[in-house]
Structure 1
Amino acid sequence: MVFQGSSVAISHTGKVRSNNQDSGYAGSNLFAVADGMGGHAGGDVASSIAVHRLEQLDQPYESTAAAERSLRDAISDTAVQLIDTVHDRPELAGMGTTVSALVMVDDYAVIAHIGDSRIYLFRDGSLTQITTDHTFVQRLVDSGRITPEEARYHPRRSVLMRVLGDMDPEPEVDTFIMPTRPGDRWLLCSDGLSGVVDDPHTTKALAQGMAPGRTADALLKQALDGGAPDNVTIVIVDVGGAHPLFSGTPTIVGSASNPDGVDVPAARPGRTSWLHPGRQAANEPTHFEPAPQFLEELIEEDKRRARRRRVGWIVGIVVVLGLIAGGLWLGYQFTQTRYFVGADEDTVVIFQGTQQNIGPITLSTPYEDTGIPLDSLSDFARATVQQTISASSLSDARRIVADISELAGGGG
């Protein structure tokens, strides 16, 4: 049965990359995103090959098992085709691509995934990430060594542990089947979106209930406003709903929309041209697939980074505490340059420091007992002394004491 719903696919170079190595597809039953890697042109060719091979699966299926089998076969065929392409064009060695694909079969979604592009399901106001990133940092998250929030900013967040490349003719691909229902919104995207726009903002955009095209444009704008350091590809699939149904013409975006599979900035799909133009920049790959022997080295590097982070925190805390202690010491030293006249239990006393205290900490000490009895003073003079009299210096304090002594001698 042909899928009943609406969809859109858009792709943008972003604000830093010089060419678009992503590819996207939205058809009648098939929806896919591929994020290529491997230097200038290599990534373009890889993602284009993947999408054009998957395009052949855009047809009704008798069963979910048949669709799942076709997805696995197509991805394996793509791996072989990538190897053959590099054999014919050695300059493309090292190219590869992620693949996240979705085939609708009746009331089910058949999913295939490898790499760090993502498939999300928005249902009943809640967004769920359906696929698991095949990345180094995801392994760290799964082992509890870092949090998902730390993974977003980890320096190795782009290291892929599994990818569809030109080295392995039998890639390990995740495939599974999920029930879907009217009202569901499926989001397929490259990490150019998920790495910039967090889940709460994505949820808010999907919850607006706008048509897939307007929703995709809103998400793309958020990625661009966030800097869009990588290509951004978005495919949105609405199951049922009030929006116009699929028109019958598939949408191919990104490098797969070009005949030779290599995207030229001036020839990007017009779908996203109303937004910011891509800024020209050197095209450096954002991913690489580490050889197995480097995995332990990467893990050790992450341990060293964690140790450096802990040491940095400790040093920072010590420095802050030192600055606070230094500030308190300087403040205390300043108080010891001040004097005031007050009283102890029965005599007038010159105090060094200030009248104020900090909690239980006293900022003054008796400096000189004048020997003038309090009961020799008038009631007013005694009350004034007990409330303390500020002095600008030690000599000023002694002058005040001399005045008090005269008052005492004059008839306290």
Structure 2
Amino acid sequence: MSVKASTAVSHVGRIRSNNQDSGYAGRRLFFVADGMGGHAGGDVASAIVTQFTAAADADYPDAAAAARALADTLQQANRRLAETVADHSELTGMGTTASGIIVQGGQAAIAHIGDSRIYLLRAGELSQVSTDHTFVQRLVDAGRITAEEAMTHPRRSVLMRVLGDVETSPDIDTAVVDLLPGDRWLICSDGLSGVVPFDALQDFLAADVSPKIVADRLVKASLDGGAPDNVTVVIVDIGDPPAPETPPQIVGSAAAPLAFGQVSEAIRTRGLRLTPFRPHPVQETHFEPDSEEFYDEIIEEDARRRRRRRLVWGFWILLLVAAITTVAYFGYQWTQTRFYVGEAPSGVVAIYRGVQQNLGPISLHELYRESDVEVSELRTYDQQRVQQTINAGSLTEALAIVQRLEESVE
């Protein structure tokens, strides 16, 4: 089984000022790294890891060996990030996700850490192969919250595992998956999976078009959804004939050359400024709770937040209902000070209290008094006026109108 076609696309999105994602589509290796949002040097981290991991794009005895090699390469890249931070303290806290596959001998070797995702479309059905290393995913796995609650959880972007200077030997997930002809793999940053729903991803990937067209459509879908983060998409089609040998495709922040032996010079060449200080506080997106009590505390905090939100919404809803009720009450009272002259069901001239309109099923008028004058006895002009109703500003005015009509008959 071989790679039939592949592509890599990256976009800065609609909100971010720079692209902290990196993507790689090579001969056997396909990879996405998402620099940690809010951390200094997220783009540096993803570029270093991607450029370093590109060395794993090689032939292996089998897929299991490829998985071990890819995981080892990511561990080495993690150490390289720590060395970079040691040389540049202003990059403290930088990190990146890393998700990739190596196609080897009819199987896919997988290595993954973070919340970028690996999907497999097989026979028209899409499945998520990787597991998010996020705080909310851990809560879901523990049965503390549902998957639906995780999608709107205030800490849904908090990562539990990443590459960076936060841990010397992070735990990297590995797996080996058998390949079938027609398989289509998607590796993406959360700039896509966090915006485009799962069902829409499946529909896009199931289209019988080239990986490049699908990738462009996916990026556009994310942009149409607001694209609050960088968006990187790598797509791999499995089958025959094998793709012709082409240079690796590198996108995002890793697209410019990065010499690992001379990190400082390479970063300057890429135009990334290493400032000696952070102009704004860094929003931490990685931590590791050390006790079960911490989870309970976080869940209780979220419950309190939901209760406060319900109370606030309840207050405003009650206030709105009270306002509508007050307006409706005084509006109705006002209509009852109005009168008009019209034809009663019995065919006589009558005085009505209220206004001619109805408010849905609620009538805003009622028969107040009938006269002894038949509408049919009136002159043609007066008949038309009565049938179309004659407005009166008060009861006294309505009585005067009826009196004049009675006199016209006599």
TM-score by length of 2: 0.76
Residue 310 of structure 1 corresponds to which residue in structure 2?
310
Matches of 1:283 and 1:192, distance apart in 2: 23
State the one-letter code of the partner of 1:245.
A
Q: Using the TM superposition, give the Cα deviation of residue 117 of structure 1 relative to its aligned residue in structure 2, in angstroms.
A: 0.7
* One-letter amino acid of the structure 2 residue matched with residue 253 of structure 1: V
Contact 2:19 2:43 in 1 (8 A): yes
Moved more, 180-189 or 50-59: 50-59
**Which secondary structure state, in structure 2, belongs to the residue aligned with residue 77 of structure 1?**
helix
Could you say if the C-alpha distance between residues 391 and 263 of structure 1 is closer, same or farther in structure 2, counting changes exceeding 3 Å?
same
Distance 1:120 1:190 in 2: 11
Summarize deviations over 1:203-235 as a string: whole Å, max 9, x none.
444334332233323333444455544333221
| Alignment-derived partner of residue 274 in structure 1 | none
2:286 maps to 1:289: yes
Shift of 1:387: 8.4
1:228-274 C-alpha deviation (Å, 9 max, x unpaired):
443332211110156x7041533333333422466679779xxxxxx
C-alpha distance in 1, partners of 2:13/2:388?
Answer: 71
What are the Cα deviations for residues 72-92 of structure 1, in whole angstroms up to 9, with x where unaligned? 333333334433443444333
Q: Is residue 92 of structure 1 aligned with residue 91 of structure 2?
A: yes
Question: Deviations along 1:103-138, whole A, 9 cap, x unmatched?
Answer: 223332222221111112223334333223222344
1:289 CA drift (Å): 0.3
AA matched with 1:83: A
> Hey, what's the Cα distance between the residues in 2 that align with 1:140 and 1:320?
37
1:315-334 matched pairs, under 5 angstroms: 315-334=315-334
1:17 partner amino acid: R
SS of equivalent to 1:62: coil
Tell me the residue number matched to 1:122: 121
How far off is 1:302 after superposition? 2.8
Matching residue within 246, 249, 252 for 1:251: 249
- Distance in 1 (alpha carbons) for counterparts of 2:268 and 2:157: 24
> Once structures 1 and 2 are overlaid, which stretch shifts more, 130-139 or 296-305?
296-305
Q: Which amino acid letter does the alignment assign opposite residue 339 of structure 2?
A: Y
Q: Tell me by how many angstroms 1:29 deviates.
A: 2.0
Q: Return closer, same or farther for 1:263/1:117 CA change in 2, 3 Å cut-off.
A: farther
Query: For 1:140 and 1:161, how far apart are their aligned partners in 2?
Result: 11
Amino acid at match of 1:77: Q
When residues 117 and 328 of structure 1 are mapped into structure 2, their CA distance, relative to the original with a 3 A threshold, is same
Change in Cα spacing, 1:402 to 1:206, as seen in structure 2 (3 Å) is same
- Equivalent residue for 2:206? 207
1:406 Cα offset (Å): 5.8
Match of 1:24 in 2: 23
Measured in 2, the distance between the counterparts of 1:328 and 1:141 equals 47
Shift of 1:285: 6.6
CA shift in 2, pair 1:97/1:351, >3 Å: same
Q: CA deviation at 1:171?
A: 1.9
Question: How many Å separate the matches in 2 of 1:89 and 1:334?
Answer: 75
Distance 1:312 1:250, change over 3 A: same
What is the letter of the counterpart of residue 332 of structure 1?
Answer: Y
8 Å CA contact 1:158, 1:286 repeated in 2: no
Aligned residue runs from structure 1 range 371-382, under 5 A: 380=376
CA contact (8 A) 1:36 1:96 kept: yes
Tell me by how many angstroms 1:182 deviates.
1.3
**Contact 2:39-2:93 within 8 A present in 1 as well:** no
CA distance in 2, matches of 1:57, 1:91: 29
SS of 2:403's partner is helix
Change (3 A) 1:23 1:29: same
1:24 and 1:235 in contact (8 A); partners too: yes
Aligned-pair distance for 1:403? 4.8
Alignment-mate amino acid for residue 24 of structure 1? G
Classify the secondary structure of the residue corresponding to 1:186.
strand
Q: Partner residue of 1:273?
A: none
Q: Which amino acid aligns with 2:287?
A: P
The one-letter amino acid paired with 2:43 is D
Q: In structure 2, give the amino acid aligned to 1:250.
A: P
**What RMSD over aligned residues (CA atoms) do the two structures have, in Å?**
4.1
TM-score between the two structures when normalised by the length of structure 1: 0.75
Aligned counterparts of 2:77 and 2:115: Cα–Cα separation in 1: 18
Structure 2 equivalent of residue 230 of structure 1? 229
Q: Secondary structure at the match of 1:37?
A: coil
Task: Evaluate the alpha carbon distance shift between residue 319 and residue 141 of structure 1 in structure 2; reply closer, same or farther with a 3 A threshold.
Answer: farther
Structure 2: gaps spanning 5 or more residues: 273-278
User: How far does the alpha carbon of each residue in 1:311-331 deviate from its partner, in whole angstroms, 9 at most, with x for none?
Assistant: 233233223322331332133
Q: Do the aligned partners of 2:349 and 2:375 also contact (CA within 8 Å) in 1?
A: no
Code of the aligned partner of 1:326 = T
For 1:306, give the aligned amino acid.
R
Q: Which amino acid aligns with 2:107?
A: Y
CA displacement 1:53-73 (0-9 Å, x = unmatched): 433332333333333333333
Contact persistence 2:12–2:230 (CA under 8 A)? yes
Q: 1:264 to 1:205 in 2, by over 3 A?
A: farther
Unaligned runs of 5+ in 1: 269-281
